[in-house]
Amino acid sequence: MEFSDAQLRTLIDEQKHRNAEYHAITNKKKYLFWDEIAEKLNDQENTNYFTGEAYHKKFLGLTKAFYTAEKYKKDTGTKRSLVGEDIYEEFSTKFWVNTGKKMVYPTHILHISYIYRVLKM
Protein backbone atom coordinates (compact mmCIF):
# COMPACT_ATOMS: atom_id res chain seq x y z
CA MET A 1 0.00 0.00 0.00
CA GLU A 2 1.35 3.39 -1.00
CA PHE A 3 1.10 6.28 1.44
CA SER A 4 1.07 9.90 0.34
CA ASP A 5 3.15 12.55 2.10
CA ALA A 6 -0.06 14.02 3.56
CA GLN A 7 -1.12 10.64 4.95
CA LEU A 8 2.30 10.08 6.52
CA ARG A 9 2.21 13.56 8.03
CA THR A 10 -1.19 12.85 9.61
CA LEU A 11 0.02 9.47 10.89
CA ILE A 12 3.12 10.99 12.50
CA ASP A 13 1.22 13.94 13.95
CA GLU A 14 -1.47 11.72 15.44
CA GLN A 15 1.14 9.53 17.15
CA LYS A 16 3.01 12.61 18.37
CA HIS A 17 0.01 14.36 19.83
CA ARG A 18 -1.72 11.28 21.21
CA ASN A 19 1.31 9.36 22.49
CA ALA A 20 0.29 9.47 26.16
CA GLU A 21 -3.18 8.28 25.23
CA TYR A 22 -1.71 5.45 23.14
CA HIS A 23 0.41 4.19 26.02
CA ALA A 24 -2.50 4.44 28.47
CA ILE A 25 -4.54 1.98 26.40
CA THR A 26 -4.18 -1.69 27.24
CA ASN A 27 -2.33 -3.74 24.65
CA LYS A 28 -5.48 -5.65 23.75
CA LYS A 29 -7.21 -2.40 22.76
CA LYS A 30 -4.40 -0.56 20.99
CA TYR A 31 -5.99 -1.59 17.68
CA LEU A 32 -8.72 0.97 18.46
CA PHE A 33 -6.11 3.74 18.45
CA TRP A 34 -4.91 2.73 14.98
CA ASP A 35 -8.48 2.25 13.76
CA GLU A 36 -9.25 5.83 14.79
CA ILE A 37 -6.28 7.10 12.79
CA ALA A 38 -7.41 5.05 9.79
CA GLU A 39 -10.91 6.46 10.14
CA LYS A 40 -9.56 10.02 10.24
CA LEU A 41 -7.46 9.40 7.16
CA ASN A 42 -10.28 7.69 5.30
CA ASP A 43 -12.48 10.72 6.00
CA GLN A 44 -9.68 13.06 4.95
CA GLU A 45 -9.00 11.15 1.72
CA ASN A 46 -12.65 10.27 1.06
CA THR A 47 -11.84 6.55 0.95
CA ASN A 48 -12.63 3.47 2.96
CA TYR A 49 -9.70 1.17 2.32
CA PHE A 50 -7.10 2.29 4.87
CA THR A 51 -7.01 0.06 7.92
CA GLY A 52 -5.68 0.61 11.40
CA GLU A 53 -3.44 -2.41 10.97
CA ALA A 54 -1.87 -0.92 7.82
CA TYR A 55 -1.10 2.34 9.61
CA HIS A 56 0.31 0.52 12.62
CA LYS A 57 2.63 -1.47 10.35
CA LYS A 58 3.64 1.68 8.49
CA PHE A 59 4.51 3.47 11.72
CA LEU A 60 6.55 0.46 12.87
CA GLY A 61 8.36 0.60 9.52
CA LEU A 62 9.15 4.28 10.03
CA THR A 63 10.59 3.65 13.48
CA LYS A 64 12.67 0.77 12.12
CA ALA A 65 13.99 3.05 9.35
CA PHE A 66 14.88 5.65 11.97
CA TYR A 67 16.79 3.15 14.10
CA THR A 68 18.66 1.91 11.02
CA ALA A 69 19.64 5.49 10.13
CA GLU A 70 20.61 6.18 13.75
CA LYS A 71 22.97 3.19 13.82
CA TYR A 72 24.49 4.23 10.52
CA LYS A 73 25.06 7.80 11.72
CA LYS A 74 26.72 6.49 14.90
CA ASP A 75 28.94 4.15 12.85
CA THR A 76 27.49 1.11 14.59
CA GLY A 77 25.50 -0.06 11.59
CA THR A 78 26.44 -0.86 8.01
CA LYS A 79 23.03 -0.36 6.40
CA ARG A 80 21.73 2.99 5.21
CA SER A 81 18.09 3.97 5.24
CA LEU A 82 17.05 6.80 2.94
CA VAL A 83 13.62 6.94 4.58
CA GLY A 84 15.29 6.95 7.99
CA GLU A 85 17.54 9.81 6.92
CA ASP A 86 14.52 11.80 5.72
CA ILE A 87 12.74 11.44 9.05
CA TYR A 88 15.83 11.34 11.25
CA GLU A 89 15.63 14.84 12.73
CA GLU A 90 11.94 14.64 13.61
CA PHE A 91 12.18 11.09 14.95
CA SER A 92 15.36 11.76 16.95
CA THR A 93 13.14 13.01 19.79
CA LYS A 94 11.66 9.47 19.95
CA PHE A 95 8.22 10.96 20.52
CA TRP A 96 6.55 7.53 20.26
CA VAL A 97 8.36 6.07 23.26
CA ASN A 98 6.42 5.65 26.49
CA THR A 99 7.40 8.52 28.76
CA GLY A 100 6.24 6.61 31.81
CA LYS A 101 3.65 9.24 32.67
CA LYS A 102 0.35 7.63 33.43
CA MET A 103 -2.60 9.20 31.72
CA VAL A 104 -6.02 8.17 32.82
CA TYR A 105 -8.02 7.74 29.67
CA PRO A 106 -11.46 6.17 29.82
CA THR A 107 -11.25 3.32 27.32
CA HIS A 108 -15.03 3.15 27.11
CA ILE A 109 -14.87 6.40 25.10
CA LEU A 110 -12.81 4.58 22.50
CA HIS A 111 -15.46 1.87 22.32
CA ILE A 112 -18.28 4.37 21.96
CA SER A 113 -16.51 6.36 19.25
CA TYR A 114 -15.62 3.15 17.40
CA ILE A 115 -19.22 1.87 17.55
CA TYR A 116 -20.46 5.27 16.37
CA ARG A 117 -18.12 5.17 13.37
CA VAL A 118 -19.14 1.63 12.47
CA LEU A 119 -22.82 2.53 12.64
CA LYS A 120 -22.17 5.68 10.63
CA MET A 121 -20.85 3.60 7.70
The ranges of the chain with pLDDT < 70 are 101-121
- Total structural domains within the chain: 1
Q: Give the domain range for residue 37.
A: 5-120
How confident is the model at residue 13, as a pLDDT? 94
pTM recorded for the entire structure:
0.73
- Per-residue confidence (pLDDT) for residue 111, from 0 to 100: 53
Residue 105 has a pLDDT of 46
Q: How far apart are CA 54 and CA 62, in angstroms?
A: 12
